[in-house]
Amino acid sequence: MELLLLFKLCLVLLLLFMIFNLGRAWYVMVKGKKTAPMSQFLGRRVIFALFIMALLVFASLSGLINPNPRPY
């Protein structure tokens, strides 16, 4: 049970980090400040999205989470 809670907490933190990077890219795009290129933040967002999907596939295959058999 504790492992499942830790896994969910890790997923939520990764999703929040993705949203944070999306906001930083938006800020760079709107303000036009050249502190860092916008593609750097969007690239991080894509990498973390791939990492989250890999974690979900691994957790599903290992039996840590179970998909809903009846989605309706």
Find the mean pLDDT for residues 44-52: 90
Domain that holds residue 34: 22-62
Q: Report if residue 7 sits inside a domain.
A: no
pLDDT at position 30 over 80: yes
pTM across the whole model: 0.77
Backbone angles phi, psi at 53, to 5 degrees: -65, -40
Q: Report if residue 39 sits inside a domain.
A: yes
Q: Report if residue 31 sits inside a domain.
A: yes
The total number of structural domains that make up the chain = 1
Q: Report if residue 29 sits inside a domain.
A: yes
Averaged pLDDT of the chain: 87
DSSP conformation letters of 35-59: SS-HHHHHHHHHHHHHHHHHHHHHH
